[in-house]
Amino acid sequence: MADDIVISGGGSIAVATSELFDDAQRLGELRALLSDCHRQLVSIDRLVGVSQLNTLVSSSTALAAERAMDDAAAALARAGPSAERLHVALIASADAYGVGERVAERLAQEVAARFGTMLGMFLPVIALEMLPMALGIGAGVALGISSLPAEKRSALFRALPDWLQSNSVILTDPKVVQLVRLTVMSADDFGGGLLHLPPGLVHSLGDEGLGVVGLATSSSVVVGIASMRGSLVESAVSVTQSGPPISVLRAENYSDRAARVPQGTAQVRIDRYSQVGGPDRFEVYIGGTRDFSLKPGVEPWDMTSNMNAVAGREAGSYRAVTAAMAGAGITPSSPVMFTGYSQGGLIAAELAASGDFDTRGLFTLGAPAAQVEVPTSIPWVALEHTDDIVPAVGGSWASADPVLVRRQLFDGSPVSTEEMLPAHQLAGYRETAALVDASHETRVVSALAAFDSFSDGTTSVDSTLYHGVRDLRTPAGSTSADSARRSGG
C-alpha cells in the first residue's frame, strides 16, 4: 500500500504530494537560516579583522582565516538565493500541476457531458435496432435461470456478491473510479438528450453551465421512480441512547477523530466538551452505511438514506443524527464539529451546510459529498482514496473546496478480496489519517490547528453513543426545505 498522499484545495490551486510540500517548506526554512548565518558571519568579520587576529596568531594564519571567512560569506550569499529559487520552483510546479489537473478534469467532464447528451438522444434508435437481439439473449438467459431448481436459483443470486468480492480489483481500479465519477456527473445530460432538448440548452443548465440541474436532479428522478415500486421510501426514525456517557480524552489529531467513528450497532457518537465559564462544545461522529438493500428496513443507515441524501432530500440518517444531537443537548448556538465516514461523511457535510448549527469544523472520510456546498468559512478536510468507488458516486468537487487529501490505497500492492470494496474500508482511511497527521503541509496543519483549538479550555470530556431505527409504519415528514440544506441555505 502506498504512503504517498496528494493534497489539493483549501483555497489554493497547488496540487502535489505531501513530500513535495514538505521539501518546499524545508527549502524556505533553509533560505531563512542561510540568510541569518550570512548576516552573522558578516557581522563577525567586521568585528574581527586581520589586525585583531594578528595579535592572537601569526600573520599568515590570520590572512588564511580572513580568506576563509570571506569564502564562507560568499558561499552563503550564493546558497541562500539558490534555496529560494528551488523553493519557488517547487511551489510553481505544484501550482502548474494543479492548473493542469483542473483543466483536464474540466475537459473530461465536458466530453462526458456531451457524450451523455448524444447517447440520450440516440439511445431509442440504438435500442430499437438492437431490440430483437437483446430480447433473444435476455429470453435465453431468463429461460436458463428459470429452468434451474429453486435452490440453485437462490444459490446463483447469493453467489453474485461473492463474485463481486472475489473480483474486487475491478471496482478498485482508479480508472473505473474516475469513469464512475464522470458517468454520474453526466446523468443529467443523458436525461436531457433522452428528452430531445437542444444540446446547447442541456449544457447551459447542467453542471458545466449554470448548474440548475445536476447530480441531485438525476438522483431525485431515480428516487421518485423507485419509490413508486416501494423502494427508497423514507420513513420516520427514532433514536435511543446506547448506554451511559463515559469519560474520555479529547481528540488531538486526525487519527483520533477517525478512530472515534462508530462501527458497531450505534451509528452516532457525541463527545461533550465541558468548559469553565463557557458553553459546552460537541464533536459529532457519524458512521457509514450498514444496510445495502434498496428496500428500507429498520436500519436508517441504508441505501434509502444514501440515495435521498445524494438527491438533496432529508435522509432518515440525517434526521436520526439531528435527533441524537437534540438528545445530547446541542442547540443551534452550541459550537459543534462533525466527523463522518462514507454516508456519515455525506450527512456531516449536509449538517455543516444547513446553517442550522454553529459548525466549527468538518472532517470526512470516503464520503460522496463533493456536491455539498459547505461554506468556505468552515475548515473542512476530506480524505479520499482514488481507488475507492464510493466518493466517486458523489460526483466531482465543483460545489465545495475542502482541503482534499487523496491517496491510492492499493498502489503497487495486491488488492484485497476479503471485502467487495477494499479501498473503502474504514481501517484504510484510518491509516491515511495517520499519514496526514505526519504531514507538515500548511493547509492540513492549519486545519488541524483550527480543529484542536475547538477544545481549548476543556475541563472534561464525556462520550455517548446513539442508535437510530426506522419506524416503517410512519412516513417521513415534509422535505420542502431539503434542497436548501445541500446548497447551504
Residue 487's pLDDT band (cuts 50, 70, 90): very low
The pLDDT, as a whole number, for residue 15 is 85
Highest mean pLDDT (candidates 12-16, 184-188, 235-239): 235-239
From residue 321, give the alpha-carbon distance in Å to each of 94, 268, 292, 300, 391: 39, 7, 19, 10, 21
Q: Which residue has the cell 453542471?
A: 207
Residue 135's pLDDT band (cuts 50, 70, 90): very low
Highest mean pLDDT (candidates 50-54, 74-78, 106-110, 225-229): 74-78
Task: Report how far residue 211's alpha carbon sits from residue 458's, in angstroms, rounded to the nearest whole number.
Answer: 43
Query: Per-residue pLDDT for 48 more than 70?
Result: no
Dihedral angle, C-alpha 136, 140, 143, 144, nearest 10 °:
-170
DSSP 422: G
Query: Per-residue pLDDT for 90 more than 50?
Result: yes
The pLDDT, as a whole number, for residue 25 is 74
Query: Per-residue pLDDT for 182 more than 60?
Result: yes
205-249 pLDDT, tens digit each: 555 554 545 567 667 777 777 777 777 889 999 999 999 999 999
Highest mean pLDDT (candidates 20-29, 302-311, 358-367): 358-367
Which residues are within 8 A (CB) of 263 and not within 5 positions of it... i.e. 6 or more apart? 287, 426
The predicted model gives 129-146 an average pLDDT of 51
Highest mean pLDDT (candidates 22-26, 222-226, 346-350): 346-350
The pLDDT, as a whole number, for residue 417 is 80
Question: Who wins on pLDDT, 206 or 456?
Answer: 456
The pLDDT, as a whole number, for residue 130 is 47
Average pLDDT taken over every residue of the chain: 81
CB contact burial 85-124 (16+ within 10 A = b; e otherwise): ebbeebbeebeebbeeeeeebeebbeebbbbbbeebbeee
In the 3-class helix/strand/coil scheme, how is 214-247 assigned residue by residue? CHHHHHHHHHHHHHCCCCCCCEEEEEEECCCCEE
Query: Per-residue pLDDT for 121 more than 80?
Result: no
CA angle 234, 399, 192 (to 5 degrees): 70
The predicted model gives 343-367 an average pLDDT of 97
Single pTM value for the model:
0.78
Query: Per-residue pLDDT for 421 more than 50?
Result: yes
Q: Which three cell numbers, joined as nine digits, stand for 436?
A: 496526514
Question: Who wins on pLDDT, 127 or 106?
Answer: 106
Residue 384's pLDDT band (cuts 50, 70, 90): very high
Residue 69's pLDDT band (cuts 50, 70, 90): confident
Q: Please give the distance of CA 146 from its chain centroid, rounded to a whole number.
A: 43
The predicted model gives 356-363 an average pLDDT of 97
105-116 pLDDT, tens digit each: 766 667 666 666
The predicted model gives 439-456 an average pLDDT of 93
CA angle 349, 353, 356 (to 5 degrees): 115
Query: Per-residue pLDDT for 481 more than 50?
Result: no
Query: Per-residue pLDDT for 163 more than 80?
Result: no
The pLDDT, as a whole number, for residue 133 is 47
Q: Which amino acid appears at position 411 of this protein? A: D
The pLDDT, as a whole number, for residue 20 is 77
